[in-house]
Amino acid sequence: MGTLRSESNDAMNRRKGLLLVVLAGVLVACWYVVRFEGEPKPVDPLLIAPLHEAAPAWRPPPALMQNVSEPTAIYVVSGVTGPDGLFEALRLDVNSGARSAARIRFGPGTTFLPFDSAELTGIPALEFRGLTLPRPTFHLLVFPGPGGPGFHSVESATGVVHISAGTGTGRRTLLTLTLVNSSNMPEMRSLLSSNRSRRLAAFLWREADGWTLYLFSLAPAQT
């Protein structure tokens, strides 16, 4: 009887061990395969503007400009120029959301000023609350330089992104975003900006059919 009970316990332990191995395999597979980036959740935005016609998803992010004589308008520039050297742009009215096509010239000596990257100014701020882990990722080639198939490390983030503005008791959240196993944190930081007067903050978000602009006021909240 004791021998049978021992063999039964051994079989049960083997099944438990196999189950743990399977669960570990599922967790590892999820770590490599499952990735999730939720929809941005803005808080009191001035404007949410899909830019599908001006900036397809396969293109780099558009440039944001503001004319010093038009404080209530934003120009979204796709980077395409015509024979006259003017850039095609989408003009957005901040107050009404009205949009119209435009052709502009920007650069030194013009009245158009680009939005400044938050990576340089710190406005608005991006904070991540969660866990980041290095994830080995397979590659076929290494460029530039020689190298064939292999693995490289990519930071994987799981948690919640908070985009905020202000300081001290006046600090407020502009937008939140939930991430699971995402490697897009560096891109998100590069897509934050503010206008030259620091009155507007912008966040660009890539979707399947194009980019979306989230625009926020940086004026202190009224009490």
Mean pLDDT value of segment 148-169: 78
Residues sharing a CB contact under 8 Å with residue 8, sequence separation 6 or more, in sequence order: none
Please check the confidence at residue 150 and state whether its pLDDT lies above 80.
no
Please check the confidence at residue 152 and state whether its pLDDT lies above 80.
no
pLDDT per residue as tens digits for the range 14-63 = 777 677 766 655 555 555 556 668 899 999 999 999 998 777 777 889 99
Q: What is the pLDDT of residue 12?
A: 72
Mean pLDDT value of segment 139-164: 69
Mean pLDDT value of segment 69-87: 88
> DSSP letters of the chain?
-HHHHHHHHHHHHHHHHHHHHHHHHHHHHHHHH--EEPPPEESS-SEEEE-TTTS-TTSPPPEEEEETT-TTEEEEEEEEE-TTSPEEEEEEETTT--EEEEEE--STTSSEEEPEEHHHH--SEEEEEEEEEEEEEEES--SSSS--SEEEEEEEEEEEEEEEES-GGG-EEEEEEEEEEE--HHHHHHTEEE-TTS-EEEEEEEETTEEEEEEEE-SPPP-
pLDDT per residue as tens digits for the range 53-66 = 777 777 889 999 99
Mean pLDDT value of segment 135-149: 57
| 115 or 157, greater pLDDT | 115
Taking Cα atoms as reference points, which of 194, 171, 164 lies closest to residue 202? 194
**11, two tokens:** 């079989």
Mean pLDDT value of segment 90-96: 95
Kindly report the pTM of this predicted structure: 0.78
Q: What is the pLDDT of residue 28?
A: 52
Q: What is the pLDDT of residue 23?
A: 65
Q: Is 15 left (phi over 0), alpha (psi -120 to 50) or beta?
A: alpha
Mean pLDDT value of segment 101-118: 93
